[in-house]
Amino acid sequence: MRKHIVAGNWKMNLAYDEAEELLDALTQKLDEQPLDENTMMIICPSFPYLELAEDYCHVDPDDEENEDTYFMVGAQDVSANDNGAYTGEVSAEMLESMAMDFCIVGHSERRAYFGESDEMIAKKVNKLLEHYISPIVCCGEVLAEREAGKQFDVVRKQITDGLFHLNADEFANIVIAYEPVWAIGTGKTATPEQAQEMHAFIRSLIAEKYGKEVADNCSILYGGSCKPGNAKELFANPDVDGGLIGGASLKADDFMAIATAF
């Protein structure tokens, strides 16, 4: 049975003390209201705060035998290179050495602002899998593509070129996040029907490539202005397995409301 997932993408936000306050508030809320066993929370802070998040994620950090965690920790990006003279880059090996569980790849902002291609995203996926980190791979169309009726062609190409070089065992470690780019930070949201339509389409692509069992076990997240007010309706769809949450993940109350909306 595939997991429900809420992944908080903090993007480039929060000073150190603000990050600490947010993590403290989240863990207190999770103490009071633990998530159900089929729901996973992932926190993806900026690189400088990864170790801080890792410290907070353990329910009892002083008990080495207690492996219970409040949430999993992920990075927001990774280099396509192993190591070397790449100033400012962070490698998959570095993330593995910090016990990272997940890493976002191919976010629409990386595609738009840093020119990341599907080929580059495929390389990053490979590096993460080599180091036992699960990629959260983003896909989605911009407004002009949606208005032109090209959204399915766009998403098909992104998934095919970015992921379908993997074998079935490798693909089993992938989480997909569908981002209707026109709904990110704009206040617009895809309707539950639009979200379900695209998520079902993505799952059908996976089934065609790898078979129904692999497709049924893949968590597909919605990543476009998901908030406490619309999370329950979005998550009620059979192919929407959770959300990649931006702004709402920066407020403990809002993020918890989304995490408990299943």
Asked if 9 contacts 107 with a C-beta cutoff of 8 angstroms, the reply is: yes
The residue with tokens 């089929």 is 38
DSSP structure class, residue 36 = P
Distance CA 43, CA 23 (A): 9
Distance CA 75, CA 250 (A): 16
Could you confirm whether 179 is annotated as catalytic?
yes
The residue with tokens 């998040």 is 53
Which of 107, 116, 141, 145 does the annotation list as catalytic?
A: 107
Distance CA 25, CA 21 (A): 6
The two tokens of residue 195 are 């979200």
- Range 186-225 burial, b when 16+ CB lie within 10 A, else e: eeebbebebbbbbbebbbebbeebbeeebbeebbbbbbbb
Asked if 8 contacts 243 with a C-beta cutoff of 8 angstroms, the reply is: no
Strand runs (DSSP E) across the chain, as ranges? 4-9, 39-44, 72-75, 102-105, 134-139, 175-178, 220-222, 242-245
Which of 109, 116, 145, 179 does the annotation list as catalytic?
A: 179
Could you confirm whether 107 is annotated as catalytic?
yes
Query: What positions carry a catalytic annotation?
Result: 107, 179
